[in-house]
A and B are shown apart, each in its own frame.
Chain A
Amino acid sequence: MLLKKLLAPGKKEKAVIEDLTRHIKLLCSGLDVFERAFRDKDRDLMASIIDLEREADVIRRDVISNIYEGAFLPYLRPRLCKFAEVIDCVFDLLEDAAYQYLDLVINASIQNYCTQIAALNGKIGEMLLLSFETLMGGGDLRDKALAIRVYEKKVDDIKLDLVRDLRKVEVKTFWDGKALSDFVSSLTSVSDIIEDASDYLQVINVSMR
């Protein structure tokens, strides 16, 4: 009992772990909301992504402030902070995509590609959550990291076709074209950044061994 208490994580460490779990769960919700909003063309739902990004910002600040106040050994701190920041980058991309979507009319020829990518992003997000839970349980992350890489490759393949078809879409003004290009760029970058986050989890996992 005493040993269990002695080996249990401290208050600050517990708070950081809980916040990071909440951060990733929120990311999964964000990716899910984005997919549903895009598929159903629901602008109100898409606008809610902006609130989710704000909520994620608060969590990131809590994580960093707890780490700054002394949670975890210094050796682990920069890696955990970096992980929280990478997750926040995904939220930023999602928010950018949501903002651009609200100003755009998506051409039917690319609608299907974008829906597929949004669905894959959701799956990658869930896999990241699974990775984090495995990290907490002390399991092997390699199969989860591999799954994320496979999903990411699929997104890259779809992106090639999407960009090829995107060139055929007629745009009326420079700004319409830029907004569409930015939207596609943000949407297709999400999986890249989640892959980076998964790599950080691997680094955290091996760093204390």
Chain B
Amino acid sequence: MPGMATLLPLIGCVFIAFVVGSNDTSNALGICIGCEILKFKKALCLFGPFVLLGAVLQGQKVMKTVGNDLLEVNFSILGVSLIVSALLIAFSNWKKLPLSTHQVIVGSFTGAGMASGIPVSMEFVAKIVLSWIVSPLGALFSALLIYKLMEKTLSRFSVFRIETILKSLLILCAIVIAYTTGANELATVLGGAVHGGLFSPTAASCGGALFVFLGALFLSPRVIETVGKGITTLDPYSGFAAQFGAATNVFIFTCLGMPVSTTFCIIGGIVGVGALKGMETVRFDLMRKMMLSWVAAPLLSFCICFIATKGLMFFPKGFFWV
């Protein structure tokens, strides 16, 4: 059933791109909309083109890592992995569990690949896992550095001037994160499909960016409201340091072709700024929950995909398995 074999990964890609739009838009636009620097529609007009630009200009490296260097995907692996990822992401959204899209997709590909006997590059698995560890830590230190730098430079200005400068910097930050959403988040989703031969990189980038945009348009306002208002009422100064620290790290890892989570990097940045203000400001209960999700997401997706692939391999070749 070649039709089914191409339809399932397509559905998976569309669904996950839509979810990236609905959930991860808040990473880029949450503060700007929460602070009323930009209205939702204007912010979205800024977000969409930069997601597309990121995917087209710099998405290839991450796509190659996920779809080619990690393992050579075929339609069957693609179908199982993306459908399992989509279901897991849908379940986590329904249960409000913070699962990272990157980790779920990489875990799924690895699980499906290992179960079907396709060689999985352990070197790349190690590199990706290492980048998942290093990127939030990098964001933590970057946020600390940015905060210190802001204290040394911005604090010389009047409070009203600082406020104006912060507004411009927050818009810049939103643009960088929108760009990395395309170059990293979306590229992770599309990597398998592009290197599995389902789409060309340009077509995948354009289509993916469109579904990210639609997800952002239809489902992100509530998430943005929660994240944006929650952060900005605290402190835009720290918020910017955390967000920009995360943005620079995701950008660096994107240049290296490593799929990393913007959300985890932002959390790293927030912890960095929080630690600077006193460890009592860091919510360790929430940190524990995030750490648990960090470990559980790739393991869970790996196990489910491994079992699902083994199960599907019992069917006659050609029925599903190509």
Contact A73 B161 (CB under 8 A): no
Given A73-B232, A75-B235: A138 and B164 interface contact (C-beta under 8 Å): no
Q: Cα distance A136–B161 when bound, in Å?
A: 8
Q: Cα distance A49–B157 when bound, in Å?
A: 37
For window 128-182 of chain B, which residues contact chain A by CB distance below 8 Å? Answer: 151, 154-168
Taking CB atoms, residues of chain A closer than 8 Å to B34 are 74
For window 48-76 of chain A, which residues contact chain B by CB distance below 8 Å? Answer: 70, 72-76
Contact B159 A205 (CB under 8 A): yes
Interface centre among A75, A136, A208 (most CB of B within 10 A): A208
Main secondary structure of the interface of A (DSSP, over half): loop
Q: How many residues on A have C-beta within 8 angstroms of the other chain's C-beta atoms?
A: 23
The distance from the CB of B317 to the nearest CB of chain A, in whole angstroms, is 60
Q: What is the size category of the interface that chain B forms with chain A?
A: 20 to 34
- Any chain B CB within 8 A of the CB of A1? no
- Any chain A CB within 8 A of the CB of B124? no
Taking CB atoms, residues of chain B closer than 8 Å to A8 are 164
The distance from the CB of B47 to the nearest CB of chain A, in whole angstroms, is 20
Residue on A with the closest CB to B150? A209
The 0/1 profile, CB within 8 Å of A marked 1, for residues 272-286 of chain B is: 000000000000000
Q: List 30 A-B contacts (CB under 8 A).
A: A7-B168, A13-B160, A13-B164, A73-B35, A73-B37, A73-B163, A73-B236, A74-B36, A74-B233, A75-B232, A75-B233, A75-B234, A75-B236, A76-B159, A135-B159, A135-B160, A136-B158, A138-B156, A138-B157, A138-B161, A207-B159, A208-B159, A208-B162, A208-B166, A208-B236, A208-B237, A209-B154, A209-B155, A209-B159, A209-B162
Beyond contacts A9-B163, A17-B160: 12 other A-B pairs, Cβ-Cβ < 8 A, are A9-B164, A73-B37, A73-B163, A73-B236, A75-B35, A75-B234, A75-B236, A76-B159, A207-B159, A208-B159, A208-B236, A208-B237
